[in-house]
Structure 1
Amino acid sequence: MREEAPRTVTAICRALEEQIGHGLLAPGSKLPAERKLSELFDTTRITLREALGQLEAQGLIYREERRGWFVSPPRVAYNPLVRSHFHAMVGEQGRVPATDVLSARLQPASADICDVLGLPALSRVIQIRRARRIDGRLVLYVEHYLNPAYFPGILDFDLTRSLTELYASEYGIHYGRVRFDMVPTALQPEAAAALRVAAGSPALRITRINRDQHGRIIDCDLEFWRHDAIHVQVEVPEG
């Protein structure tokens, strides 16, 4: 029985890959319950879950807590060299963006945030926590940390909109130089809860440290993307 399991896992993966590849299982559609899939492939739930886990790691399917398994939609292209923002990037690719504000407040800055933003000890920082959607699906959890000296009264604005546009229209601040750090990671509980997935699920963490047109560090973003939601695509010009 144990010797058969790897072959069964491979067979299940191939069958579901073919169904997805031919469009029989459409992007965003829900897979049958694990019990029904186990019966279909005449295997145990343990073997089935191993196959589903492999497909999840490839980004072909995803699981939502208490809802089941779904076929992953196409990824959006993310080019860190292009001056854009979430709503514009997603909209330009024919998808529908949306933002949920989870919290927004002035709070004591951690030592790490003081260091990143160049704040003195025991400073306060504006923290904005948001969850972002593509075509209704939660794909991104982000924590924004803003130097309050540059953004007085920002908590009174509609924070579901683009901060890039808000900075420009209300404060005359435009992004200048930006530093990106990207690393694969596992979702910590707060980010996982916001995205409605299990803690420890794979993700791409993008840290952005942003300067304005005058070279001042104005904010930093900690982004946690579902690993199957984006692909990083960069084209470097000649010279």
Structure 2
Amino acid sequence: MINKRSHIPVYMQIEEQLKKKIAEGIYKVGQVIPSERELALQYDVSRMTVRQAITNLVNDGLLYREKGRGTFVSSPKLEQPLNGLTSFTEDMLARGMVPSSQLVKFERKPAPFELAQDLLIESGEDVYSIMRIRNADGEPMAIERTYLPAKLFPGLTAEKLQTSLYSLIESHYQLTIGNAIQQMEAALTTKEDAQFLHIPPSGVVLLIKRTSFLDSGQPFEIVRSVYRADRYKFISEIQR
């Protein structure tokens, strides 16, 4: 229970108790937790104190609110290491999840100037423009907009993208993937992307731009990804 004489603020004690109940499965993923009023009565504190504890857990991604319905337990965030170049399919399989993709767009078109610069090709050269919704266990996790130099991947079709793109590049096209450079920032989602990701129109997302290279140093893809910030967190190991 709550120790009101403790040097630890009451709202932090409530936070820890709610965290413990989530960790122990007393409050399960997708389950609504007791209301502020019920928790205030349970802990014999003000609703303001309970609200502060819940707000902190919402900000930490452990809970989420739905207007008019209550506060629910969130699904655990997926940890994505920032070191290592792997595909979405490989990442999800490594977690024991079932990856799938919804192909929204596949077209061949001339590259605009900026994209051509990034891919080290001539402006106007053809690229494949691919947009996919990436799912894990049937839940949308990210939107990927990928651009590939057409000359590197002759005969690429939408049907061939039913498998992992990296697997296709290495097995079918016999190319060796080297390294990549990534940029990441937080942003508010667009209305279109929110619909694809099943999040509120003003939801926060993680924007990632990746330029990937073959072992020869040739850029072979530009990927602009939109990740759900409520389902992903990126981690890195830093050494001195």
Query: How many angstroms apart in 2 are the aligned matches of 1:112 and 1:227?
Result: 28
2:144 to 137, 142, 145: 142
Structure with the greater alpha carbon radius of gyration: 2
Q: Deviations over 1:142-178 (max 9, x none)?
A: 1111111111221243323210001111111221121
Gapped regions of structure 2 (runs ≥ 5): 1-10, 41-49
Note the C-alpha offset of 1:69.
Answer: 6.6
Q: Tell me the percent identity.
A: 25
Give the residue type in structure 2 aligned to 1:224: V
Pairs aligned (count)? 225
Whether the 8 Å contact between 2:110 and 2:123 is mirrored in structure 1 is no
- Counterparts of 1:121-160 in structure 2, within 5 Å, are 121-160=123-162
Equivalent residue for 1:117?
Answer: 119
Match of 2:199 among 197, 200, 208: 197
Residues 1:107 and 1:56: Cα distance change in structure 2 (over 3 Å): farther
8 A Cα contact 1:91 1:97, kept in partner: yes
Higher mean displacement: 56-65 or 205-214: 56-65
- Give 1:11 shift: 10
SS at match of 2:209: strand
Could you give the per-residue CA deviations for residues 109-164 of structure 1, whole angstroms, max 9, x where no partner exists?
34432232233333432111111122222111111111111112212433232100
Q: Given that residues 106 and 158 in structure 2 are in contact (C-alpha distance below 8 angstroms), is that contact kept between their aligned partners in structure 1?
A: no
Name 2:106's counterpart in structure 1: 104
- Name the Cα RMSD after superposition: 3.6
Deviation at 1:30, TM superposition (A): 4.4
For residue 46 of structure 2, what is the aligned residue in structure 1?
A: none
Distance in structure 2 (CA, Å) of the matches to 1:171 and 1:78: 27
Taking CA–CA contacts closer than 8 Å with sequence separation of 6 or more, which of the two structures ends up with the larger relative contact order? Answer: 1
Gaps of 5+ in 1: 1-8, 43-47
Write the letter of the residue equivalent to 2:147: Y
Is the 2:126–2:151 contact (alpha carbons within 8 Å) kept by the matching residues of 1?
Answer: no
Return closer, same or farther for 1:83/1:177 CA change in 2, 3 Å cut-off.
Answer: closer
- Contact 1:63/1:197 (<8 A) preserved: no
